[in-house]
Amino acid sequence: MKVLRACAVAFFAVTAAASVTAQNYPIKPIKLIVPFAPGSATDMLGRLVAQGLSERLGQPVIVEPKPGAGTSIGAQAVENSAPDGYTVLLGTNATFAVNSILYKKLPYDPLGFSFVATAGGMPSFLIVSGQSKHKSLADFIKDAKANPGKVSYASSGVGSTGHLVGKVLENAAGIDLLHVPYKDGPQGLSATMTGEVNGIFYTSIAAMPMITAGRVRPLAVSTQKRTPELPNVPTISESGYGGFDFSGWGILAVPKKTPQAVTDKLREAAYSLYSNADFQAKLEKIGMQQMPQLSGRELEAFVAKERDRMVDVATRSNIQPE
């Protein structure tokens, strides 16, 4: 009896301590792990989100880039961290919906997280060198049809949004492109600029300085509608491939066992941030699209649906797990 009573006391003591901790959260700086290289689109989004969350939570939110292995390194670091809300992941469609299809074994569990809030949609532009002979998407596809497997495009790695957009375009246009994965997006963009590859599917946020300088040229965007920051660039859909609509996305997540009260505080801060008109304007300025703010279960359903969609892309593109 004494043992049972002692266990009960210990249990309620731990529960009470956890409750107090959740109520006081946050009491110290929060790390936002971004599984991409500095200067990438997701890194820029992360820094914008970190600043906004810091203002709302009253504690510094520090961006810590952990690139590599298709976001696996960053995801593993967060999954293995203490589930206390002080280590948050800015994961993407690669992290939660694609990697489990591409790799037979992952160092993290894509289902080992609690989803906090959506962070933003990332349109992909087909970008070529400023000196490229391809002046339009039609030129690019015509060349690809005349030279199967020789017209190349870069990406930040197998399973990245840029890689998958290329695969979807291959299926839509009936072409065979040469995929050239690089360590990260900035390297792929540099290779495009120098003509090492024929193009890259990339975000405007990271490419805008080179676009403005004329060193690279966007031919088309992957989303259903044109984007505000590059309104003269046509969509792939209106360029002859109706219904084409593909973009990357980001989600804030924490380890699965994080107390619900802590997750709720993070979610409330994110909702407040994304409902702010000034923040929405900042998102638009960097070429991001605001996503609907979904609840935890709605987010789980969204990710599951996206995973099914990627299974279809992988099947039709004959992408085999490594």
Element (H, E) at 114: strand 113-123
Helix H or strand E segment including 121? strand 113-123
Q: How confident is the model at residue 8 (pLDDT cuts 50, 70, 90)?
A: very low
Whether residue 114 contacts residue 300, with contact meaning beta carbons closer than 8 Å, is answered with: no
Question: For residues 110 and 95, what is the distance between their CA atoms, to the nearest angstrom?
Answer: 7
pLDDT of residue 148: 96
Asked whether residue 315 carries a pLDDT value surpassing 90, the answer given is: no
Cα 128 to chain centroid distance, Å, stands at: 22
Q: Is the pLDDT of residue 9 over 70?
A: no
Is the pLDDT score of 13 beyond 60? no
pLDDT of residue 322: 66
- The predicted pLDDT at position 12 comes to 45
Q: What is the pLDDT of residues 160-197, one digit of tens each?
A: 888 889 988 998 999 999 999 998 888 999 999 999 99
Q: Which of 17, 250, 219 is nearest to 130 (CA)?
A: 219
pLDDT of res. 5? 55
Averaged pLDDT, 236-247? 90
Look-up of token digits 């540099």: 190
Q: How far is CA 59 from CA 25, 170, 238, 259, in A?
A: 10, 46, 45, 19
CA 259 to CA 225: how far, in whole Å?
A: 39
% of the chain exceeding 70 in pLDDT? 93
**Model pLDDT, residue 7:** 46
Mean pLDDT, the chain, integer: 89
pLDDT of 270-312, one tens digit each? 999 999 999 999 988 888 888 888 888 899 999 999 888 888 8
Model pLDDT, residue 157: 80
Please say whether the beta carbons of 40 and 186 come within 8 A: yes
pLDDT for position 15: 45
Check: CB of residue 211 under 8 Å from CB of residue 217. yes
Q: How would residue 17 be classed by pLDDT, with cut points 50, 70 and 90?
A: very low
Residue 255, preceding peptide bond in cis (omega within 30° of 0): no
Whether the CB-CB separation of 97 and 230 falls below 8 Å is answered with no
pLDDT for 16 beyond 70: no
CA distances from 130 to 183, 198, 230, 237 (A): 23, 11, 16, 23
Decide which of 318 and 148 is more confident. Answer: 148
Distance between CA atoms of 71 and 92, rounded to whole angstroms? 8
Domains of the chain in sequence order: 28-121+248-317 (3.40.190.150), 125-221 (3.40.190.10)
Contact 186, 194 (CB under 8 A): no
- Using DSSP's 3-state secondary structure scheme, residue 188 falls into helix
pLDDT in tens, 51-108: 999 999 999 999 999 998 889 999 999 999 999 999 999 999 989 998 888 888 899 9
How much is the pLDDT for 237? 94
CB atoms within 10 A of CB 60: 14
* Token reading at 22: 């959740």
Query: Is 152 or 311 the better-scoring residue by pLDDT?
Result: 152
Write the burial class of residue 300 (CB in 10 Å: 0-12 exposed, 13-18 middle, 19+ buried).
middle
